[in-house]
Amino acid sequence: MSNLFIHTTTAILIAASASLSSAQPSDPIKIGLMLPSSGTFADLGKGVADGFKLYVNEQGGKLGGRSVEYIALDDESDPSKANENANKLVKRDKVDVLIGTIHSGVASIMAKVARETNTLLIVPNAGAGEITGSMCAPNVFRSSFSNWQPGYAAGLLAGKKHKTAVTISWKYAAGEESVNGFREGFEKSGGKVLKDLNLPFPSVEFQPLLAQLATIKPDAAYAFVAGAAQVKFVKDYAAAGLKTGIPLYGAFLTEGTLTAQGDAASGLQTTLHYADGLKNPKNDKFIAAYSKAYGAAPNVFGVQGYDAAQMYDIGLKAVKGDTSKKSDIYKAIENAKIESPRGPLSFSKSHNPIQDFYVRVARGNQNMMTETIVQGLADPSPDCKL
C-alpha cells in the first residue's frame, strides 16, 4: 500500500468523523425561541419574536450564511416550568441557541440550563441582575437591559423635580431590582424613597396599594408592573385621581400599550433604551421594515429581538457558520459594536448592554423622546467574575 493511499484514506476518515460529530454547515441552525405566547407578557414575547425574525428575513432567511429553523415554546412566564422547558429545547430538540425570555424568574433558570450545557443563551428582555451578575458566563448574553438600568434612569429623572417618592411593584426579581435602581438614582439626586409597596406577580389588585399611596402623599411615585397589567394599573391610577397630585414615573409602564391606556397615560414620563421619535439611520430603516412586515410600529421588545438576531449573526459569521467553535462565537459577540435601532450598543464584561437611556413622554399613542438622561449606561455587575 503506498504512503499516498494511507494519507489520503486517513484524511477522508478524519473528515468523515468530523462530519458525523458536528452539524454540517448546510444544515439549518436550530433556534430555540422560549418566550411567552400566553398571559400578561404575551405581546412582549411576540414583539421579541417578530423583531428576531425580521432581522433573519433581511439576511435572506439566514444567519451566518446558514438557513434557520425555529423551535418555539410558550414558557407561560412560569418559573416552575422553566427547567423542563429549557431542557426540552436543549436536550430533545438540540437547539444551537436559546433565545428567551421576558420574565426574570424564567430567564434565570434558562441561564442555569445554558451554563450546565454550554449552550449559547441570548436574553432578549428579562432584566434579572444575577444573569449578568453572580451567574454570568462566557455563553450567556443579554440584548436588553438589567432591571437596575431603566429604574436608575427613572430615579435620576424623578429626582430632578421631587424630594420624596413611593414605589409600587410586583414582588419578584424584576420589580425588586427595578425599584432598587430607582432608589439609587433618586437618592443620587437628593431624593428619599418613603416606602416600597408591592403585590405578587401577576396580580392586578392595585386598589389597596393606591389607597396607601394616597395616604402617604409623596411628591412622586414609581411603578414597575408590565405587559397587559400595566394598562389596568395606569387606568386605575388615573381613576383614583392620583395623576395630578402624585406624578407617576415608570420604565415599561406605557411601552406598547398607549392605545389601550388612552387618556389615562397622557403625559406620563418613562425612561427606556428606546423611544418613539428617536432619530438615527438604522432606526429609520428598522421602523419602515418592521411596520411593513407587521402593520404596526415597533417598540422596545421588537428592538431587543432584532438585536438578539444581530448578535447571533455576528457570532456565526466569525466562525463561518461552524457552531462547534463555541468560544470563538462568544468572543465575537462579546467584542461586538452593534448599530442598533436604539443607538450604539456594546457589552460590558458581564455581557450586559452598554447603552443610552432616554426620557419619553406619552403623547397620543407614542412614547416620544424628549432627552437622553444617561449616555452609555453600564450595569456595574460587581458579582460577575468572568
**Minimum CB separation from ligand BEZ for residue 168, in Å?**
15
Other C-beta atoms closer than 10 Å to the C-beta of 68 total 21
Q: Does 102 bind ligand BEZ (CB under 6 A)?
A: yes
Regarding 191 and contact with ligand BEZ (CB under 6 A), the answer is no
Using the rule CB under 6 A, give the single segment among 123-131, 188-196, 260-268, 345-353 that binds ligand BEZ. Answer: 123-131
Minimum distance from residue 272 beta carbon to ligand BEZ (Å): 10
> Does a cis peptide bond (omega within 30 degrees of 0) precede residue 132?
no
46 binds ligand BEZ (CB under 6 A): no
Does residue 95 bind ligand BEZ (CB under 6 A)? no
Q: Quick check: 232 binds ligand BEZ (CB under 6 A)? A: no
* 367 binds ligand BEZ per the rule CB under 6 A: no
Q: Which stretch binds ligand BEZ (CB under 6 A): 29-37, 121-129, 274-282, 333-341?
A: 121-129
What is the SS3 string spanning the chain? CCHHHHHHHHHHHHHHHHHHHCCCCCCCEEEEEEECCCCCCHHHHHHHHHHHHHHHHHCCCEECCEEEEEEEEECCCCHHHHHHHHHHHHHHCCCCEEECCCCHHHHHHHHHHHHHHCCEEEECCCCCHHHHCCCCCCCEEECCCCCHHHHHHHHHHHHCCCCEEEEEEECCHHHHHHHHHHHHHHHHCCCEEEEEEEECCCCCCCHHHHHHHHHHCCCEEEEECCCCHHHHHHHHHHHCCCCCCCCEEECCCCCCCHHHHHHHHCCCEEEECCCECCCCHHHHHHHHHHHHHHCCCCCHHHHHHHHHHHHHHHHHHHCCCCCCCHHHHHHHHHCCCEEECCEEEEECCCCCEEEEEEEEEEECCEEEEEEEEEEEECCCCCCCCC
* Half-sphere exposure in the Cβ direction for 126 (13 Å, CA): 34
Is 180 a residue that touches ligand BEZ (CB under 6 A)?
A: no
Nearer to ligand BEZ, 169 or 340 (CB): 169
Q: How far is the CB of 144 from ligand BEZ (least distance, A)?
A: 8
Task: Sketch the per residue contact string, 233 through 262, with ligand BEZ: x for CB under 6 A, - otherwise.
Answer: -------------------x----------
Binder to ligand BEZ among 85, 104, 108, 132 (CB under 6 A)? 104
State the Cα–Cα distance between residues 306 and 354, nearest whole angstrom.
17
When asked if residue 103 is in the footprint of ligand BEZ (CB under 6 A), the reply is: yes
Q: Which of 126, 140, 153, 258 binds ligand BEZ (CB under 6 A)?
A: 126
Our CB check for ligand BEZ shows the closer of 64 and 250 to be 250
Which is closer to ligand BEZ, CB of 218 or CB of 353?
353
In the complex, minimum distance from the CB of residue 128 to ligand BEZ, in angstroms, rounded to a whole number: 6
Does 182 bind ligand BEZ (CB under 6 A)? Our answer is no
147, 261, 310, 381: which one binds ligand BEZ (CB under 6 A): 147
Binding of ligand BEZ by 273 (CB under 6 A): no
Is residue 136 part of the contact set for ligand BEZ (CB under 6 A)? no
Is residue 174 part of the contact set for ligand BEZ (CB under 6 A)? yes
Site membership for ligand BEZ, residue 127 (CB under 6 A): yes
Contact residues for ligand BEZ (CB under 6 A)? 102-104, 125-128, 147, 174, 226, 252
